[in-house]
Amino acid sequence: MTEGEQRRLQIEDVGDQGDGLARVGPGYVVFVPDTEIGQQPLVRITTVRENVAFAEVVEP
């Protein structure tokens, strides 16, 4: 996963801060604000870390 990459994710859960949570592979999580469980938004990855990434919605 790289910064700037776009992909469609399945929001599976909600994190402690209320952001949507998508799991990508074993042990890797992407946080997506302003999403709800069950949504499949197209997102742009904004920050990548060792086992977590942050993204913004491009298309709901």
With beta carbons less than 8 A apart as the criterion, state whether 55 and 46 touch: yes
- CATH number assigned to the domain covering 6-59: 2.40.50.140
| In the chain, alpha helices (H) | none
pLDDT digit string (tens) for 13-26? Answer: 999 999 999 999 88
Query: What DSSP assignment string belongs to the chain?
Result: --TT-EEE----EE-TTS-EEEE-STT-EEEETT--TT---EEEEEEE-SSEEEEEEEE-
In the DSSP assignment, the letter for residue 18 is S
With beta carbons less than 8 A apart as the criterion, state whether 11 and 21 touch: yes
Q: Domain limits of the chain? A: 6-59
Taking the whole predicted model, whether its pTM rises above 0.85 is answered as: yes
pLDDT digit string (tens) for 34-60? Answer: 999 999 999 999 999 999 999 999 998
